[in-house]
Structures are given as structure tokens and as C-alpha cells.
Amino acid sequence: MGGADATPASTSVTVAQRPSTTRTNGQSFDFDGDGLGDLSVTPSGGCPVTFRLGTQNGSTYRIVGSKDYRNVVPADIAGGAFTTGFFCVAVDYLDPILVEASGNSIYKAWTAGNDASGVRIEFELLQAFVPPPVTSFTFTTYDLIANFEDTSSGSPTSWSWTFGDGGTSVFQDPQYRYATAGTRSACLTPSNTGGSGSQVCQNVTVATVASTTVASGGSFQLDGDGIADLSVTPSGGACGLPNRLGTMNGTGWFGLAKDYRLVVASDASGVSYTTGFFCRNLDHFEPFLVRTTTQAIYRAWIAGNDGSGVRLVFAQLLAGTAPPVSDFTHTTFDLFAIFVDASTGGATSWSWNFGDGSGVSALQNPRYRYASGASRTACLVASNVGGVGNQDCATVTVAAVPSTVRNTGTFFDLDANGSSDLGVVSGPCADGPSALSLQGGSTFALLAKDYRALVAADAAVPFSSQATFCAGVDYLTPFLLKLGNGEVYRAWTAANDGNGIRLDSALLVTDRLFMSGFE
């Protein structure tokens, strides 16, 4: 069979030399540019290539092995030990090497050429040299506890502490509790990627502070009143320590997270004390408060908890305080009652009951509006850190003051001249279902002042002609109404409910009011 011969396909291949450095016989490669040679170039001495390489000036090397030079990463540094001396490598990027230069930085490299013209090497910084840390530390002690703080320079990333009694730690700033008083040599060795710093040691002296130890089965009397405040009983494994504490005879406790030495009286403010058994660690940073049977407040922390019992450090924070004597006065206006606390004994909290089945308050001097006129029994119980005081009660009588009620769709005629001055329309308003509407050329001004204390001078305010407005059901939020004839009335909304609006009003200014004042 005949036919034309097929023409072979061809492909163009382009190669380019990567950036590299060439050194010939007797010359050196200075990877880190510090002026000291890191690898020398000498005759092969038996290598299957023209030249061999050798370490100089303290540099070291390691052959990575069969790996693409481009894929060598810092993690490969830990793949084996570095060494010194002469070595041969193939002209192949799949046979890279690592070089720790004289300046201690580590480079990856491969031999891109090795012939009569010299050795051509491509290299790249893999890990910059980091000097080891310069070691230093400080410490403070309290009781048997030492608090250490690393102050080493050079950004350490790990720490090795020895405390001189067999105890160790790898934390940066450890806290350590010695078993007994005495002086020991505590040492720190910090490290980073550049290696370990030198070991620095200091003498640490600890001694117990003033404290009281009570054996298991005994009790603490913090205030010395002859009544036990805290029991010491076996923990039964609940605490991870031999003993636990328990409240007794009405005492209470509250845990804090603060240096015991910095606990102040204000830390006892608003605290809710708990009764029962509890556990705390041997640490002055885990103190607690105890309210004793005399209502005194003590700060405390457990400095020891072992076979001998519990060793407690404590001090009075607040002297015993008797509960307050509850007392109050009151005044009324319309359906409002204004209560004023008159309790003695330093009350810090108040519980009011206004006697109508729903009204209560925790304010010191509350103000309360009853739903209707009547007499009720209002009561106060005042409290402080010493406990709950007595209940004090009084009869409170409220009655609506003379006022006028109008339903929706009807009007108020304040000057009784037979013309409407103010209408009642559907709201809604924040304080009720109805709103007020201006009639007969009237204007209004909302105020924030006791209705009873309004005087003629209060009328020197801007008035609004807005068609409708809302007024609060409160004599402390009154309003002024200027009629078309210039007379000004003071008024307040005493009620705004399903029965309509109840208005208390009185003439305030009889003469005409001009922009410049009164005349």
C-alpha cells in the first residue's frame, strides 16, 4: 500500500538559568554576607565532579537528601545533625543541602553547576539566627508562696524553673508554694528558637505570716464572741485537700478572686453570702469573706490544709453592724404619696409595701400613685450588712384634689365663659388612652416643675399651637394653657383612663401676655 510518510511532531523546550552565585578554586561562598566564608571551593579530591565544598569559620552543613530544593522548609532543619568538613553533592536540585553559616543563620542550597568554570550554587535564607535569651527574673513572697516573674530579654518561648526543693515549672510566671519556711535557690533557664539562655539563680526566703491553725473537728471563732463561725471537717475527697470549711451558727461566706492583701471594705458591698461547706485552694489570690454572728465582716484565706488541720490567715474588714431601725415619714397630694426613709443605723437597702396589694419599691425614698382614694397601711423594712431591720408601718390616706373630669369628645372650659378651651380626644398617650386638643385659639407649654409651685413668671416660656398634645399623669409634669383672651392657666393631668381625663387647674396670669413680658 502506498502513502506519504508521517511527519514527526516537535516540541520547543525553553530553559533559563536561575539566579545563582559561582565561585572557583580557592574562593568561598559567603551566604550571610558577614565577610566570613561559609563554604570553600577546592579540587574534588576524589569526588565525581570538578570541585568539592568544605565548611569554614564555624559553619556546618547537612545533606537533606532526595527532596526538591524548592520544597525544603524550616521543619526540615530538625531532620538530622549538622557537621563540618569537605563534602560532594550532585549537580541536581533534588539533592539540596542545608548550611548553618558562620553567623548561625541557616540556608538551603543546591549545586547548579560544577565544572572547570567553578561551582555555581543557588541558595536562600531558610531560618534567620535568633540569639538565645538573656536570663533574668524577679519574685515576691507572701507566707510560704513565691510568685516568680520572668524578665528575660530576647523573647523566650519556653521556660525551665527549679525552685530549690525539687519543685519545677514550665510556666513563664509561675506561683509556687513551699512546704515549709526557709531559704532555697530558685533557678530559671529560658529558651527560644536560638537555643537556651544561661541559668540564673536567686535565693528565695519564705516564712509563715500570722495565722491560726485548727485541727479537723475543731472550729474558728473569728470575732472571739464565744460562738463558732467556721467548722473544720474532713473533705472526704471533695476538695482534693484533707479538710473543708463549713459555716456555723448563721455565718455566711463569699469567695473573691483578688489578692487577699488588697481586699477592702467596698469588696463586701452588695455581697450575697452562702451557707454550708466549701473548699478553697491554698492561695492568697483566692480569699473569701466571712460574715460572723456579730455581723462583722472578715477577710480570710487558707494558708495550710494538711494532716494538722487548716491554717487560716484572717483579719476584720468591717466591724459588726446591727440591723437598722426602720422608720419613715410621708406626705400626700391627690393620689400620690411621697415616702421619705428616716431609718437609723445605716440602712443600705429598702423594701417598701404600699398596702394596695401590688405596690412595692426598693428605692430609698419612693413616690407612689395609688389607683384610688382611700386609706392603706404602708410598710418599710430597712436592711444593711448587719441584717434585716424591723418592719415599720403607717396609715397613708390619699384623696383626689378638686378637679374636673371630661370624657373623649367633650371639652374643658377653664374660664367658665361658656366656650371650649381644651378638648379630650382619642390618643393614645404614654400615660393613658386620651390626648388633649387646643380649642378657641388656646396654646400650651409643657413644664417640668411641681404644679403647686408654679408662679406667674413661669409663663414667660414659648407656647405651642400644636393641635393635640399629651400630658403626663403627674403633678411634677404640669402644663400651661394660654387662652385666646391672654389669660394663662396652670394645669396637670391627675388621671387618664377609661373614665376620661381628670384635670386639676387654676388661673395663673390674669393680664394679657405680650412677647416682651407682662403688663
- The answer to whether residue 279 scores a pLDDT higher than 80 is yes
- The answer to whether residue 322 scores a pLDDT higher than 80 is no
289-to-122, 222, 269, 282, 298 alpha-carbon distances in Å: 70, 11, 11, 15, 6
Return the pLDDT at 7: 58
Considering Cα of 448, then 351, then 385, then 322, what sign does the dihedral take? positive
Please give the average per-residue pLDDT across 210-214, as a whole number. 96
Fold type of domain 137-206: Immunoglobulin-like (2.60.40)
Cell 555555581 belongs to residue: 120
Taking the mean position of all CA atoms in its chain, how far away is CA 465?
Answer: 51
Q: How far is 203 from 296, CA to CA, in rounded Å?
A: 40
Q: How far is 159 from 130, CA to CA, in rounded Å?
A: 16
Average pLDDT, whole number, for the chain?
93
Considering Cα of 454, then 457, then 462, then 463, what sign does the dihedral take? positive
Confidence of residue 384 (pLDDT cuts 50, 70, 90): confident
Please give the average per-residue pLDDT across 421-435, as a whole number. 94
For residue range 8-35, what is the model confidence (pLDDT) as tens digits?
667 778 888 899 999 999 999 999 999 9
Domain map (residue ranges) of the chain? 21-127, 137-206, 212-318, 328-398, 404-518
Q: How far is 486 from 480, CA to CA, in rounded Å?
A: 12
Q: How far is 289 from 253, CA to CA, in rounded Å?
A: 5
DSSP-based three-state secondary structure for 260:
helix
Do the domains 137-206 and 328-398 sit in the same CATH topology, yes or no?
yes
Return the pLDDT at 513: 44
List the grid coordinates of 44.
Answer: 574534588
Return the pLDDT at 17: 87
Return the pLDDT at 157: 96
Please give the average per-residue pLDDT across 232-260, as a whole number. 94
Return phi, psi of residue 394, to 5°.
-150, 155
Return the pLDDT at 230: 97
User: Which of 16-25, 368-377, 421-430 reaches the highest mean pLDDT?
Assistant: 368-377
Contact call for residues 219 and 227 (beta carbons, < 8 A): no
Confidence of residue 387 (pLDDT cuts 50, 70, 90): confident
Please give the average per-residue pLDDT across 354-360, as a whole number. 97
Cell 520547543 belongs to residue: 12
For residue range 444-464, what is the model confidence (pLDDT) as tens digits?
999 999 999 999 999 999 999
Fold type of domain 328-398: Immunoglobulin-like (2.60.40)
Return the pLDDT at 364: 98
For residue range 54-93, what is the model confidence (pLDDT) as tens digits?
999 999 999 998 899 999 999 999 889 999 999 999 999 9
